[in-house]
């Protein structure tokens, strides 16, 4: 497992190989997202947070995931189009990932190792689970899918300093 969140390889929704290094020095809200989930309307709240805090150093990173009820069946082009047309998403989106199991993306291995779940249950329970990472790359909070983006404002402001 990587020692730094910034060294973990990721792929953008456009298929570009990169790492999270471009986000060094920013607070990150990392969310596994899906287009056909009961929590999908959270895209709207996430976009509002992004518009409000991006100039203060917040990045919201969306990682589509199809592991929960096949709620993200589309390919990257379909996902990008859905997010743009339905929710006006402008925050960075990435290629589809698995967040649990044998094909789990290294980013989620890292996040879960640094912020386990309730009662020691580390697995991601559903889409729209959220992790807050401070400007130094430390995973400082983990939120359930039911936690609304608006309810995160106080924690975001603290992470942004």
Which residue of the set 37, 83, 95, 97 is catalytic? 37
Cβ-Cβ contacts under 8 Å for 158 (sequence gap 6 or more)? none
Please name every residue paired with 58 in a beta bridge, in sequence order, or none if there are none: 27
Question: Measured in Å, how far apart are the chain's first and last C-alpha atoms?
Answer: 28
Residue 83 designated active-site: no
Distance CA 8, CA 110 (A): 9
3-state secondary structure of 151: helix
Distance CA 119, CA 140 (A): 17
State the helix-helix crossing angle for 76-87 and 42-53, rounded to 10 degrees. 80
Q: Would you name the residues annotated as active-site residues?
A: 37
């Amino acid at each position: 497992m990587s020692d730094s969140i910034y060294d973990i390889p990721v792929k953008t929704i456009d298929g570009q190989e990169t790492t999270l290094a471009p986000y060094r020095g920013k607070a990150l809200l990392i969310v596994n997202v899906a287009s056909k989930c009961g929590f999908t309307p959270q895209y709207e709240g996430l976009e509002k947070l992004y518009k409000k805090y991006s100039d203060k150093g917040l990045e919201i990173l969306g990682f589509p995931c199809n592991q929960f009820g096949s709620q993200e069946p589309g390919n990257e082009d379909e996902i990008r189009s859905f997010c743009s047309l339905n929710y006006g998403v402008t925050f960075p989106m990435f290629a589809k990932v698995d967040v649990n199991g044998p094909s789990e993306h290294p980013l989620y291995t890292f996040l879960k190792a640094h912020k386990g779940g309730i009662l020691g249950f580390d697995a991601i329970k559903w889409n729209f689970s959220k992790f807050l990472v401070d400007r130094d790359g430390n995973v400082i909070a983990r939120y359930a899918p039911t936690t609304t983006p608006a309810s995160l404002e106080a924690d975001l402001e603290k992470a942004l300093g």
